Chain A
Amino acid sequence: MKRKSRAFFRNPVAVTALAILVVIILFCILYPFFTTIDYREMNFEDRLQTPSLKHPLGTDNFGRDLMIRMAWGGRVTLSVAFFSGLIAAVIGTVIGILCGYAGGSTDSVIMRLMDVLSSVPGLLLAIVFEYMLGMGRGNFLYGIAIAGIPPFAKLVRAAVLEISGSAYVEASRALGASPLHVIREHVVRNALPLAAVQATTAVADALTTCTILGYISISIKPPMPEWGMLFDNGKNQLRILPHLSLIPAAAIILCIVCLNLMGNGIRDSLSIGGGDA
């Protein structure tokens, strides 16, 4: 485990990706504390301004400061992405371990349910949850989370099957290990790194879905911003002030690319020593 994290931190690409993500997250969390400008504050005299000292990223068509709106939008977008990824990871991993261990009809039934679930687009599921549980309060998060479960469940189940059939589990059982010990120590410890790789993909997917929802205005309630919404808002001024839409778009793309690079970094570090994955 230690060696693997060491291998990850020796990978310059993965570390850079992680650093960029950390910087973006810190900016979103901290920037609102360092400025007196409110993200809701409209100022029609300052409409559609180019970047200046007062408004580092300019202002939108209502005269709202884009910098602070990017920070708040990031808070929304990134936390939706992170928490839906986390929920999917936890539930998916538990289902995967359960299925891999139980086998038989339990396994078949749950896995077919997963197949059904994965045939429903995440976007659709998110919209359904938003309508069912009430609009504008971020309920689409649950839809995104549930759509993220099947890949985790399948991946972890496959890993559990492979690990529980491995020679070291057999040897461990032959030396008197209890089933609980086998799951806790061997199965979880060997399957978790794989789940971590999948988690980066799941968070990136959730981020995409979240911003698409923002773009088609099925998202958090305005004036609370969201990156997809900001992009949508700015696209009307694409000809005159392209930065209004390009900056949110760049932030979205940057985050997704960094997440994927981090995933690759974790995957690569897994193959060092250990030999699993």
Chain B
Amino acid sequence: MNGQDILLAVSGLRLSFRTPRGTVQAVSDASFQVRRGEVTGIVGESGSGKSVSAYALLGLLARNGTVEAGSALFDGRDLLSLGKKELRKLRGSEISMIFQDPMTALDPAFTIGSFLTEVLRSHAPTINRREAWGRSVRMLADMGIRDPEDVMRRYPDSLSGGMCQRVMIAAALLCGPQLLIADEPTTALDVTIQEEILSLLQRLKEEQGMSILFITHDFGVVARLCDRVAVMYGGFVMESGSVEQIYHSAAHPYTQALLRAIPRLEDGGKELLSALEGEPIDLIRLPEGCVFAPRCPRRCEKCLRTRPVTTDLGDGHSAACHRIREGGDLHV
């Protein structure tokens, strides 16, 4: 892999939110990459910092949030040091984002047609109405919507969740972005619709070479779609690597615990799923040592005292755990 293939390289991202209760250290140290034509998944439970990391890249953090450190090189520019105006121009045209709940992501006061043409015209002011309409219709058709002309004249509330998500993806791709950030795009949908949206994203990747940053808490979805995975917990990237590396030789105890919590058909349903003991950590008072140590089945003295450094395990596989350094048995 040479540097040319890397579309987005986030390193050492650190951000926090000021709240009445104190400073919430939402992300302490996040590094991940998206390569051209690949799908990188960020997996983690609620509050692990996966979504806010993506929001920070686009400058969409809430007012009380600040990026404290880190860089995000996208196509030669550092997203985190771009001005507001430049970022706004870049949003939608070079990086687009789709969201968890497609039904509420569309303004109820507008028809799909006026929404899509408006997105197009805001990035290409010279385009005329007819042209914008035509391109929107073609894009909807590309997204597998059967009667695009009809859908263009409808309001969001007369569309199903799956249709709304297709419309959102169409809007996101309308200006030909290089990177699509998908923030749990299937979480709010029925399982069957979920599958349709995933196939659509898969097709975009295969046919158009779309690069996608896919944020999810669902390991099953990751296996279905992603090439690479970063596992986040408590604002740290615990482990990252290719899907094969993560699934077959997970090095971090947290990843291992997550994988054990997925039901498998071949077990015949006889084995009990193992749930991870304990509560997610309090992001206002981060522990001194490894953030996962309080829940970790393999913790030692050292884990409670010092933060582990990310260790390169070769072939792009890396993990942040003291137990790996020691060269001990990685698998429980």
- Do they bind each other? yes
Does B21 count as interface, using CB distance less than 8 angstroms?
no
Stretch at the interface among B100-108, B134-142, B307-315: B100-108
Stretch at the interface among A19-27, A67-75, A268-276: A268-276
Contact of A276 among B92, B98, B108, B171 (CB under 8 A): B108
Contact of B106 among A3, A171, A176 (CB under 8 A): A171
Residues from 168 to 220 in A contacting B, C-beta threshold 8 Å: 168-178, 181, 185-186, 189-190
Contact of A173 among B60, B63, B168, B172 (CB under 8 A): B60
Does A134 count as interface, using CB distance less than 8 angstroms?
no
The docked-state distance in angstroms from the alpha carbon of A241 to that of B110 is 56
Does B91 count as interface, using CB distance less than 8 angstroms?
yes
The docked-state distance in angstroms from the alpha carbon of A12 to that of B31 is 62
Does B112 count as interface, using CB distance less than 8 angstroms?
no
Does B118 count as interface, using CB distance less than 8 angstroms?
yes
Please name all residues of chain B whose beta carbon is closer than 8 Å to the beta carbon of A171 when the two chains form the complex: 97-99, 105-106, 168, 171
Please name all residues of chain B whose beta carbon is closer than 8 Å to the beta carbon of A224 when the two chains form the complex: none
The docked-state distance in angstroms from the alpha carbon of A273 to that of B111 is 11
The docked-state distance in angstroms from the alpha carbon of A174 to that of B60 is 7
Q: Which residue of A is nearest B172, CB measured?
A: A175
B92 touches A174 (CB 8 A): yes
Please name all residues of chain A whose beta carbon is closer than 8 Å to the beta carbon of B58 when the two chains form the complex: 174
A177 touches B108 (CB 8 A): no
Does B295 count as interface, using CB distance less than 8 angstroms?
no
Most buried by B among A169, A171, A185: A171
Contact with A along B129-147 (1 / 0, CB 8 A): 0000000000000000000
Does B272 count as interface, using CB distance less than 8 angstroms?
no
B93 touches A168 (CB 8 A): no
Does B244 count as interface, using CB distance less than 8 angstroms?
no
Please name all residues of chain A whose beta carbon is closer than 8 Å to the beta carbon of B158 when the two chains form the complex: 273
Does B77 count as interface, using CB distance less than 8 angstroms?
no
A103 touches B91 (CB 8 A): no
Contact of A174 among B63, B96, B110, B175 (CB under 8 A): B96
A167 touches B99 (CB 8 A): yes
Please name all residues of chain A whose beta carbon is closer than 8 Å to the beta carbon of B68 when the two chains form the complex: none
Does A1 count as interface, using CB distance less than 8 angstroms?
yes
A274 touches B157 (CB 8 A): yes
Q: Which residue of B is nearest A189, CB measured?
A: B109
The docked-state distance in angstroms from the alpha carbon of A178 to that of B86 is 11
Please name all residues of chain B whose beta carbon is closer than 8 Å to the beta carbon of A186 when the two chains form the complex: 107, 109
Does B17 count as interface, using CB distance less than 8 angstroms?
no
The docked-state distance in angstroms from the alpha carbon of A176 to that of B58 is 10
Residues from 151 to 169 in A contacting B, C-beta threshold 8 Å: 166-169
Q: Which residue of B is nearest A274, CB measured?
A: B108
A170 touches B122 (CB 8 A): no
Please name all residues of chain A whose beta carbon is closer than 8 Å to the beta carbon of B122 when the two chains form the complex: 175-178, 181
A175 touches B155 (CB 8 A): no
Does B89 count as interface, using CB distance less than 8 angstroms?
yes
B105 touches A170 (CB 8 A): yes
Interface, chain A (partner B; CB < 8 A) = 1, 3, 103, 166-178, 181, 185-186, 189-190, 273-276
Q: What 8 pairs across the A-B complex have the smallest Cβ distances?
A: A176-B92, A175-B92, A274-B108, A167-B104, A174-B97, A171-B105, A176-B91, A168-B107
Using A168-B107, A174-B58, A273-B158 as known contacts, list a sample of 10 further A-B pairs with CB atoms less than 8 Å apart, ordered by residue number in A. Answer: A170-B105, A171-B105, A173-B91, A174-B96, A174-B97, A175-B96, A176-B119, A178-B88, A185-B118, A189-B107
